Amino acid sequence: MQELNKKLQELSLLKPDLHGKDFLLTWENSLDNLKAVMLVAEILQILHRHKKPFRIFDSGLAISIFRDNSTRTRFSFASAVNALGLGLSELDEVKSQIAHGETVKETATMISFLTEVIGIRDDMYPGEGHTYMKEVADAVSESFRNGVLAQRPTLVNLQCDLDHPTQSMSDLLKLKDYFGGWEALRGKKIAMSWAYSPSYGKPLSVPQGVINLMTRFGMDVVLAHPEGYDLQPDTLTSAKAFAKVSGGSFTLVNSMQEAFSDADVVYPKSWAPMAVMQQRTQLLKQSDTKGLVDLEQHCLTENKRHQDWECTQEMMKLTKGGKGLYEHCLPADISGVSCVHGEVAKTVFERYKLHTYQQAGYKPFVIASMILNSKIQDTAAQLKSFL
């Protein structure tokens, strides 16, 4: 337990402001908040490995709202809330009264009477997901203030149109472990690169989350994508500002080779152009089926122009010493496995497979940590009580 005590000591030196707060965007949180969430996640992971329970609830619900498909995040949320002592119920909007016109404000309160946490994934449409989460947050706050709810549920962002905080913090924890601490990350080059996919419409929140978190920790972040595959402008502005404060750097290039060159870490991941996602949103609102089909075909054709944006063995040789670390949020489009031609060659993925699994393995603990930090004021004392 020496490692655990060391992390508890490090936690005691921080001054986080997480109690009673939702966790929606990493860039809304201080460095102490981010470090506290990740340190508590590491501590919970150690407790789990030593078969030490970390329940903080005797009863209550956790509600998940998934407006997009999910495997890792869905089961990470379920396992996190179960470990904390909560039952899980997933809101199926099709089977609820939402299908009959029930408002977001009404739904938010109706699902929250004995609810301690609400996890939401709403990542597909620019301008929609984060706005929806804020609407839910405002609704439960109003009901709590007026005595309708005995407790205010904590909201956790399980991915929105802007950020995927549980993912990017899991990514960072893998890097911290791999390189040996926060300070060891300073000056390390990470290439957040677009990669080819035989599908379209993948959210922007993973690359946006990565560039805005890694720049907070002094890393040299390079964002690479073909012309036209832009992210949301505000997220680029904030990444530049974070890099300036931390002493890191943020660079935008249009070459995968340039991004991979001498990189310590590569993160090749497909996403749809911002303009495409905005157009898709409008077509969906108009129920324009033909327009959606035409847009998909146009985008798939455009993607095919960039099939050379693939993480191959030759590309990995460009990384520092040919030994750069490969990261991915999963599932990856693996050439010759999940598709004919995709984001990453089978040989590369197999080489780094266990690393990506470890990367994903932090997520249940990150989610549990976000909830615990929101519900417990003295987290260090609570964690010591689990020993």
Whether the per-residue pLDDT at 95 is higher than 80: the answer is no
Confidence of residue 374 (pLDDT cuts 50, 70, 90): very high
Whether the per-residue pLDDT at 295 is higher than 90: the answer is no
Torsion angle defined by CA atoms of residues 353, 357, 360 and 364, in that order, rounded to the nearest 10 degrees: 170
Whether the per-residue pLDDT at 1 is higher than 80: the answer is no
- In this prediction, residue 332 carries a pLDDT of 97
- In this prediction, residue 82 carries a pLDDT of 98
Identify the three-state secondary structure at position 245: helix
Q: Which tokens go with 122?
A: 């709403």
- Strand residue runs (E) in 67-152: 87-90, 115-122
Average the pLDDT over 368-379 and give the result.
97
- Please say whether the beta carbons of 99 and 51 come within 8 A: no
Average the pLDDT over 21-41 and give the result.
98
- Model pLDDT for residues 162-195, shown as the tens digit of each residue: 999 999 999 999 999 999 999 999 999 999 999 9
User: How many angstroms separate the CA atoms of 155 and 214, rounded?
Assistant: 23
- Please say whether the beta carbons of 174 and 135 come within 8 A: no
User: How many angstroms separate the CA atoms of 130 and 120, rounded?
Assistant: 10
Whether the per-residue pLDDT at 279 is higher than 90: the answer is no
- Model pLDDT for residues 111-169, shown as the tens digit of each residue: 999 999 999 999 988 889 999 999 999 999 999 999 999 999 999 999 999 999 999 99
Confidence of residue 201 (pLDDT cuts 50, 70, 90): confident
Average the pLDDT over 271-289 and give the result.
85
H/E stretch holding 301 reads: helix 289-304
- Strand residue runs (E) in 76-147: 87-90, 115-122
Average the pLDDT over 42-46 and give the result.
98
- In this prediction, residue 267 carries a pLDDT of 98
- Portion of the chain with pLDDT greater than 90, in percent: 85
- In this prediction, residue 257 carries a pLDDT of 98
H/E stretch holding 249 reads: strand 249-253
Q: Which tokens go with 15?
A: 């001054």
Q: Tell me the CATH number for domain 167-361.
A: 3.40.50.1370
- In this prediction, residue 287 carries a pLDDT of 86
- Model pLDDT for residues 334-363, shown as the tens digit of each residue: 999 999 999 999 999 999 999 999 999 999
- Please say whether the beta carbons of 197 and 276 come within 8 A: no
For residue 311, what is the DSSP state? B
User: How many angstroms separate the CA atoms of 261 and 267, rounded?
Assistant: 13
- Please say whether the beta carbons of 259 and 271 come within 8 A: no
Q: How many CB atoms lie within 10 A of CB 278?
A: 15
CATH topology of domain 2-163+363-385: Rossmann fold (3.40.50)
The neighbouring-strand residues paired with 268 are 193
Average the pLDDT over 209-230 and give the result.
97
- Model pLDDT for residues 60-88, shown as the tens digit of each residue: 999 999 998 899 999 999 999 999 999 99
- Portion of the chain with pLDDT greater than 70, in percent: 99
- In this prediction, residue 93 carries a pLDDT of 82
Whether the per-residue pLDDT at 98 is higher than 80: the answer is no
- In this prediction, residue 260 carries a pLDDT of 98
DSSP β-ladder status, 115-122 and 87-90: unpaired
Q: Where are the domains of the chain?
A: 2-163+363-385, 167-361
